Structure 1
Amino acid sequence: MTLIFGHRGAAGTFPENTMPSFQEAARLGADGIELDVQMTKDGTVVVIHDETVDRTTNGSGAVLDYTYDELSKLDASHTFSEKTGFCTIPTLEEVLHWLSKTELLINIEFKNNKQKYRGLEEEVITLVRKYGLESRTVFSSFSQTSIMKCRELAPDIETALLYKFGVRIPWLYAKRLGVSAIHPNYKYIAAPVIWLTLLNNIAVRPYTVNDEESLRKLGKLGISAVITDYPDRAVRILRENR
């Protein structure tokens, strides 16, 4: 069965990485959500994709230069303000508290390949454990160092290799790193590579799969999950195959 992860919630129709977006993904029938974490000046783990707030809020500047109190005053409704009204940048704890009352899975991406956040992995692991979500969590990052640190600190929580392209034999690389899944850009992974990776007991969860043709094709290949901005579209197409 191919699972469906809402990319930043339901980012195609709601403001990405906000509570309304995550709640919409759940309402649409997604199996899980994907989100990004960074850290404020005062050490709060927050859910936002970019290293700056410029693109998705009415503010400007680096996330790391804000305290959480300052960050919480920004409007993250982005281009969906008419639909949702004012939206805050949520803390990871806020999302996990809500998610713990559901059956959703969660893929937490560490956004520390450009900006190094000291202690980010430790804080995230502490929060995941606080809400007892170890078995429902996947950690991913473009930073191999970050994933290795997660494996060292929390070997019981699943880790995944996140990459765009350039990994020719991903199942071998995943095994070498000790991760149990790959999260490749769907445009750069061919069917034979998907099959061989799955045969080697490494889960395959491509991102960000939005068009119907790709969803249908990948679903027929039996991939482990898709990460998509449009959970409603994925639910409709992939559950036809189920």
Structure 2
Amino acid sequence: MRSRTAAATAVALSTAAFLLVPAAVPTATATAAAAAAENRPRISGHRGAAGYAPENTLPSFDKADALGIDWVETDVQRTRDGELVLLHDRDLRRTTNVESVFPSRADRPVGDFTAAELARLDAGSWMGARFAGTRIPTLGQTLDRLDRNGQSLLLEIKQPDLHPGIEGDILDVLARKGWLDGSHVDHRLTVMSFGTNAVRTIHRKRPELKTSVLVTARPSASALRGYAAYADQVNPDYRQVSGDFVAAVHALKGAHGKPLETVPWVVNTASAAREVAGWGADGMTSDLPDMAARALG
């Protein structure tokens, strides 16, 4: 048996050796992977997860959530009686059974229908029998669902010229649903439109909100500078731009004094996702957001 002194010496040496062992250091591979994840463009589900479920419906947002997609994009319009609803097209023929329910009015714009009339339409069967009976959701219902899912929102004001004053209506619903608090405004909401007047109006009414201008073609340098005065992003059709466009966007400061961002749309192939990421884009939207995420590792 060792003496008490020898045992104490052994313990001291053992403790000293332990203290000299360096803490675990991330490997070069782990560090590179973490950096890549930090710099990877954010993937947002276009109209929810429109490649898998009827666009702009609650099942589509739920599908995006099931795929692990935290951000979704959607389109908002206004009914004749003032309800805000989610629809992309000017009329209802492509994504509902309006031709059966209202055959004489099938080609009429969304704003010619009341909320009660839209509630009668099937907005899911066109994409498969399992979606039969899916309804057009209101903006309020959508915000509740996204809160339940913990998702964030790119909210597009669709055809604002057909819905004068819709900007104020949207802000009212966002406020009523708690989406104008600091947490949502800072981290979970961007309001955007092809209508620059609508984006300016949102910025003027609620300058703390993050805003985006959508474009179908590459804007000129002077147009980019103009957008930067009231928007935080300029989001193009990815097929119309390239890496030099992304660099030109990032060279400017947006409405909140941070580098102007760009989130191209709609990226539906792995090769396109990798190409857009290679440009250094800040994000992208996709009907197949899980595919885009896998393509970026």
Give the TM-score band, short-chain normalised.
Answer: over 0.9
Instruction: Tell me which residue corresponds to 1:121.
Output: 167
More helix by share: 2
Q: Is the 8 A contact 1:180 1:203 kept in 2?
A: yes
Which amino acid in structure 1 is aligned with residue 277 of structure 2?
G
Q: Is the 8 A contact 2:125 2:133 kept in 1?
A: no
Moved more, 39-48 or 72-81: 72-81
Q: Is the 8 A contact 2:62 2:149 kept in 1?
A: no
The CA deviation at 1:166 is 4.1
Mapping for residues 141-152 of structure 1, pairs under 5 Å: 141-152=193-204
Query: How far apart, in 2, do the equivalents of 1:187 and 1:78 lie?
Result: 31
Q: Residue 110 of structure 1: which of 141, 157, 164 is its match?
A: 157
Q: Residue 216 of structure 2: which of 147, 153, 164 is its match?
A: 164
Q: 1:199 to 1:83 in 2, by over 3 A?
A: farther
**1:58-117 Cα distance to aligned partner (Å, 9 max, x none):** 00232111111110110111531323221101000000011122332201111125x521
Structure 2 unmatched runs, 5+: 1-39, 99-105, 253-258
Structure 1 unmatched runs, 5+: none
Residue 101 of structure 1 aligns to a residue whose secondary structure is: helix
Instruction: Tell me which residue corresponds to 1:179.
Output: 231
Q: Is the 8 A contact 1:6 1:228 kept in 2?
A: yes
Q: Tell me: higher relative CO, structure 1 or 2? Use CA pairs within 8 A at least 6 residues apart.
A: 1
Q: Is the 8 A contact 1:18 1:88 kept in 2?
A: yes
Q: Residue 93 of structure 2: which of 54, 58, 76 is its match?
A: 54
TM-score by length of 2: 0.76
Moved over 6 A (4+): none
Q: 1:78 to 1:143 in 2, by over 3 A?
A: farther
Q: Residue 278 of structure 2: which of 195, 205, 220 is its match?
A: 220
Moved more, 219-228 or 163-172: 163-172
Instruction: Tell me which residue corresponds to 2:77.
Output: 38
TM-score by length of 1: 0.92
RMSD over aligned Cα atoms:
1.5
- Paired residue total: 237
Rg larger in structure: 2
